[in-house]
Amino acid sequence: MDKLFPLLASLFKMNESELTDELSMDHVALWDSLKHMELITSIEEELLIELTADDIMDMISIKAIKKIVAEKVS
């Protein structure tokens, strides 16, 4: 999980302190469908996990991403 926030901050070109649970696709200008796929690929490669189609569809907020990643890495 320590790698998740730096990865998100880098992808969205934000400071880690800006990555709150309430932040979602609707609030991040760079978070479009292409960036979402880059996000998924980066998470899978960096954290060595495999996400399902349902996981990918549900990852629309920082809170959801944290929850799904936590379930996969534990």
- Please report the pLDDT score of residue 3 as a whole number: 93
In CATH terms, 4-73 corresponds, of 1.10.1200.10, 3.30.450.40, 3.30.70.330, 1.10.3720.10, to 1.10.1200.10
Q: Where are the domains of the chain?
A: 4-73
Q: Counting beta carbons within 10 angstroms of the beta carbon of residue 34, is it exposed (0 to 12), middle (13 to 18) or buried (19 or more)?
A: exposed
**Residue 72 · residue 58 · CB < 8 Å:** no
- Please report the pLDDT score of residue 74 as a whole number: 81
Per-position pLDDT tens, the chain of length 74: 689 999 999 999 999 999 999 999 999 999 999 999 999 999 999 999 999 999 999 999 999 999 999 999 98
**Residue 62 · residue 24 · CB < 8 Å:** yes
